[in-house]
Structure 1
Amino acid sequence: MNDIDPRLLDRLKEFVSVSELSKDGRLKLPPERALCDHFGMHRTSVRNVLSVLQSLGFIERKQGSGTFLKMPEPIFIQLYFELALKLNYISVDHLETAREMFEREIIQAAAVNHMDSEIETLEAICDRIVNSKDVLEGIQADYEFHEQLAIMAKNPAILIIFQGLSSVLKKVLHQRRVLARRSIVAQEKTNKIHIAIVNAVKTRDREQARQAMDQHFETWNQNIMNIYRQPTDSLIEE
């Protein structure tokens, strides 16, 4: 970020600030000519700023309708964390520690704020985790389980951060699932703790929900320690 001209960032925020509600309730930017007049900029400069906003996913241009603001996909946040991991600025251990802190807060909010229909979705995903026979299917179901908790927390900021972490989070989940598959006991414990999380969220009790997530991470850490201690012939063959 230190190499980005702060004036460009200011321009991006200024452009967003002059948006107005359209008839369909969406935020719409003024035409290019109006932006030129408002900011005293040449059309080329205006188009450059709009191109940056579009590349970041913040605007959508519709021929004949105009330019509309929108929430982007979290791909640029994902890219940030992926590169930070690749450049060794952060490690998998850093991610796991941050995730544990983050998810303890998520589950408490989910317990208080969820709707009954969302619990049904969480239960369905939990069933997929328990019954999954394929590593990749299990990883996807595990990710969706925790994403569903973030949705149930009813805080858009939490969901944006969670989805921004999704690609690196899946790396952590992949590591966990591959190791868990090496032991029948570890698999059973992993499945049971997801069921316990669902039951805790149902109670709408923040403390009980937090304890369930604490147990989730404690069980995982114990599983890993036990797997590394087991003789090779006691493990499931891949």
Structure 2
Amino acid sequence: METRFVFRDFLKVFAFTLVLFVFFMVIFQFVPSAADILAGFHPTVAFLFQYLLQFVILFFPLWFFVVDKYGTTLADFGFKKVPILQILKTVALCYLLYLVVSYIILTILSATGLELAGFQDQQSYLPSFGYDSIGLISAFIVIILVAPFLEELFFRGFIYRVFTKTWPVWLGSILTALLFALIHFQLQTIIPLFILGLILNFAYQKTGSVWTSVIFHSFNNAIAFALDLYLYYHPEFLENLQSLT
């Protein structure tokens, strides 16, 4: 699982990412907002435009300082073949672990009456796509197929492997999970995202292949996608559930 990448590579990528982020923030202060420009288009177009910007901000620095420098392949980012049964067992274990940890935290919060600002429900992405066939198909492709692959390549394939090469595994895992949670820019759900990041790290560490974390990430997103879709068409389900509690 040793990587050719070094911490200096991460610092360069991180610094360039911040520069691009600030650059686009400044640009959009002086031009009409993307929402106004794309207002006449399908909601999916606006979302994909924003997603493309995020892709450029994250992956152009990675390409410039890492991919081009080392002439990398997917194998250099930890994508190696693992028996499918081993992957499925690890994914099942990770999802069970995620449910158990979430249940324990919810039970403690319920018993103590505490409210954590960072432990709220994650905002659904489906309204950003729209609920027609174009929106749902686009959402399925982005949320379940594209996003898990790209995010795992960046966070587990690059950052986690550099961090655990630089520091002890436990510290590298915590820092990677923290960056993973922060990059989603949803502070109200930073704790669940942090926990998810830790489990994604574990999924990779367990098999030594980023494919495992990709499949777990995709599976987790698919469950959330299906629940969001079900609740959209059956809003009475939540009302009935709340009446029981």
TM category (shorter chain) comes to: 0.3 to 0.5
TM-score (norm 1): 0.35
TM-score, reference length from structure 2: 0.34
* Structure with the larger helix share: 2
Structure with bigger strand share is 1
Greater Cα radius of gyration, structure 1 or 2? 1
Question: Which protein, 1 or 2, shows the higher relative CO under an 8 Å CA cutoff with sep ≥ 6?
Answer: 2
